[in-house]
Structure 1
Amino acid sequence: MIYEKLSAFQFFYITALFNPILAEWNTRDYVRREHSLTKPYQGSGMSVPYWDFLGSTIVTSNYVRLTPDLQSKSGAIWNTSPCHTRNWELQVQFKVHGRSKDLFGDGFVIWYVKDRMQHGPVFGSKDYFNGLAIVLDTYSNHNGAHNHQHPYISAMINNGTLHYDHDRDGTHTQLSGCEAKFRNYNHDTHISIVYKDDTLTVSTDLEGKNAWKECLKVENVLLPTGYFFGASATTGDLSDNHDIIAIKMYELDLLDTQNKDDDRSNIIPSAILFDAPRERVEDTKPAMSGVKTFLSMMALAIVIIVLVVLAIMWYQKRQENSRKRLY
């Protein structure tokens, strides 16, 4: 009896000890399958439940490839179910890779927007969108004043009136951003997007350490319910493979200060704070390479030599004509 009582006590003690840990784990247990994409992808035939595809997107057994490593490709994947959850976390496992080590592009975007399946110029989706864009930009064309290197992750909130300035990498409309080297890794790369209590937090796990590193955090961000998750990518003169491995959407608990009966479906997407705008100064023309400089100097020298020879010939001919007139 003493042993049985002791065992019961030990069980109660162990349960009480580990209950906070289990409770913490359970905060991430509300996986919304209708907003998630995991292996095996395919349902009946080539369809994937809850997801539609656009453009060059292909589905394999190991990944969903938005674009291949080829020029001028564009693809997208869009969730078919609108998200009515107020607090959520979206974890995306992805892989961006290509043959080139130095020249690559353009990048991809993770969306939470009003209009789905819309092709356009912003990494394969529409401009002047309503909602949230998390831009993973790999290509820097160095137009305008920049203070960061690429690849680069940034966040943009749009109410349908803002233009994403691709020539200047969206630096004039972004909320915040961070440099993030996420290309050509052999291990898994992940990004986490958390929207909770009107605060947007973006974190990454790019080093395979199973630990999140905060990229940006912006408070006072308003996003309505009823929008759609998606991802799109594009290539131009430069290219990469843009692969989505998995998408998991977690419903997060409401805070005590949040009223579950609030209707947030008609909220206009907005944010109080943006990164300070920069003047749109066009870059000066890049300096020529050593080979181009050498060839240009050689051509100039040849032109000068030809002009000198012609001048000498003209002078000698004139002198000869002068002597003939004297005789």
Structure 2
Amino acid sequence: MNVIPCWILISVLELVSAEWNTKDYMKREHSLIRPYQGSGMTIPYWDFTGSTMVTNNYIRLTPDLQSKQGAIWNSVPCHVRNWELQVHFKVHGKGKDLFGDGFVIWYARERMKTGPVFGNQDYFQGLAIILDTYSNHNGPHNHQHPYISAMVNNGSLHYDHDRDGTHTQIAGCEANFRNLEHDTHIGVRYERDTLTVRSYPEASWLTSWSASISAISTDFSNKAAWKECFSVKDIKLPTGYYIGISATTGDLSDNHDILSIRLFELDLPDDPRDQEDRSNILPSAAYFDAPREHVDDPKQSAFSRIMFFFLMLIAALALIACVVIGIMWYQKHQENSRKRFY
């Protein structure tokens, strides 16, 4: 009789435990799984706008072309108090050094509203998880792209695209999720007023995380493990908002593909706040980068522009003088050579 190695048995038990020993369950009315299409060109519980294209294997929000935007929105408001959202996606394109712009996962009061924030409206109410790939980043900050950040808005904040939203983000992290060979997943967990973001390379077998974790996490390194991006406490989100994903391209472009969306309701019977009425509150965050005044890039004064013009003029005249002197010297040198020859 063959004896199963202990480490294999433990791994199998952990896998079964992760998949079955949970009270969390997927909400199909808020999930999007292949095959996507219902009757005709419709998708049950979902609407799409803009350049969005539905195929058998993925939903492409934007093609790798300039000035495109697309979105897909759940048509059923989410009344779940504690939830986990897992998105399987792929961002890829021809650009090697220049590419963009990115996509956003929304939990918002209003749906199907086009606008300047990655294809959605500005001054929104709700939560935005922003996956920004714009390689030629705007303004002074100390992070590289691609970059994942979160913004909570009560409708009064402006997303400053010229500064990559760093003035109003609550947290963020660098994450290389573009043009990868393996699958890329992002998980957004909202539990007991804590928002956590994570990523994972291949999570088809994974139904949910442990109920004790609340974060946004990632794993784009193909190490078969969730990697936490950030976790923020004291986030107040209303119930009854809509889930959506939008993407946009500008002068730079990429394919933004969504392969699946899964929303899990977290069963937390020991949480007294689970019975609170959250339908009429405004979204809020206790800690975030406070909105700062938009500071434009330094502009040259009229005096500086005049000085620059004169410096360029002097440089041009000096160059012309050098060329004339060089020609005169060359002609003189040729004449002297002929005189010596005769």
TM range, normalised to the smaller chain? Answer: 0.7 to 0.9
Confirm whether residue 249 of structure 1 aligns to residue 263 of structure 2: yes
TM-score (norm 2): 0.76
Query: Aligned partners of 1:33, 1:46: CA distance in 2, in Å?
Result: 19
Is structure 2 residue 212 aligned with structure 1 residue 217?
Answer: no
**Would the aligned equivalents of 1:108 and 1:137 in 2 still touch at CA under 8 Å?**
yes
5 Å-filtered alignment, 1:1-327, equals 22=17, 25-27=20-22, 29-205=24-200, 206-275=220-289, 282-283=296-297, 303-306=317-320
Q: Which residue identity does 1:196 align to in structure 2?
A: E
Residues 159 and 269 in structure 1, CA contact (< 8 A), matched pair in contact too: yes
- For 1:237, the aligned partner's letter is D
Q: Which residue number in structure 1 is paired with residue 216 of structure 2?
A: none
SS across alignment from 1:243: strand
Alignment partner of 2:159: what SS? coil
Which stretches of structure 1, 4 residues or more, deviate above 6 A after TM superposition?
18-21, 276-279, 297-300, 308-311
Deviation for aligned residue 1:22: 4.1
**1:274-300: CA deviation from partner (whole Å, max 9, x where unpaired):** 136677555569xxxxxxxxxxx9997
Q: Partners in 2 of 1:241 and 1:44 — Cα distance?
A: 26
Distance 2:18 2:88 in 1: 25
Q: Distance in 2 between matches of 1:28 and 1:100?
A: 44
Post-superposition Cα deviations, 1:178-212, rounded to whole Å, max 9, x if no partner, equal: 00000001110000000000000000121233321
Partner of 1:34, secondary structure, is: helix
Between 25-34 and 46-55, report the one with greater CA deviation. Answer: 25-34
Contact map agreement 2:80 2:265 (CA 8 A) in 1: yes
Q: Give yes or no for contact 1:143–1:283 (8 Å, CA) kept in 2.
A: no
Which of the two has higher C-alpha Rg? 1
Q: Would the aligned equivalents of 1:140 and 1:169 in 2 still touch at CA under 8 Å?
A: no
What is the CA-CA distance between 1:24 and the residue it aligns to? 7.0
Give the direction of change, closer, same or farther, for the CA distance of 1:60–1:279 in structure 2 (3 Å limit). same
How far 1:267 moved relative to its partner?
1.2
- The Cα of 1:305 is off from its aligned counterpart by 4.3
Map Cα deviations across residues 251-270 of structure 1 (whole Å, 9 max, x no partner): 10124132543211011100
- Aligned-CA RMSD value: 2.7
The alpha-carbon deviation at position 304 of structure 1 amounts to 2.6
Give the distance between the partners of 1:84 and 1:305, measured in 2 at CA: 73
Report the CA distance between 1:77 and its aligned residue.
Answer: 0.2
Q: Structure 1 counterpart of 2:235, which letter?
A: V
- Aligned residues of 2:67 and 2:250 also touching (Cα < 8 A): yes
Give the match's secondary structure for 2:61: strand
Match of 1:8 in 2: none
Report if aligned partners of 1:141, 1:167 keep a CA contact under 8 Å in 2. Answer: no
What's the secondary structure of 2:272's corresponding residue? coil
Distance of 1:154 and 1:239 partners within structure 2: 20
Structure 1 unpaired stretches of 5+: 1-17, 286-296, 312-327
TM-superposed deviation, 1:144: 2.8
The verdict on how the C-alpha distance between 1:23 and 1:168 changes in structure 2, with shifts beyond 3 A counting, is closer
Q: Percent identity?
A: 68
| Secondary structure, counterpart of 2:65 in structure 1 | coil
Does the Cα contact within 8 Å between 2:97 and 2:135 map onto a contact in 1? no
Partner SS state of residue 167, structure 1: helix
Cα distance change on mapping 1:138 and 1:86 into 2, 3 Å: same
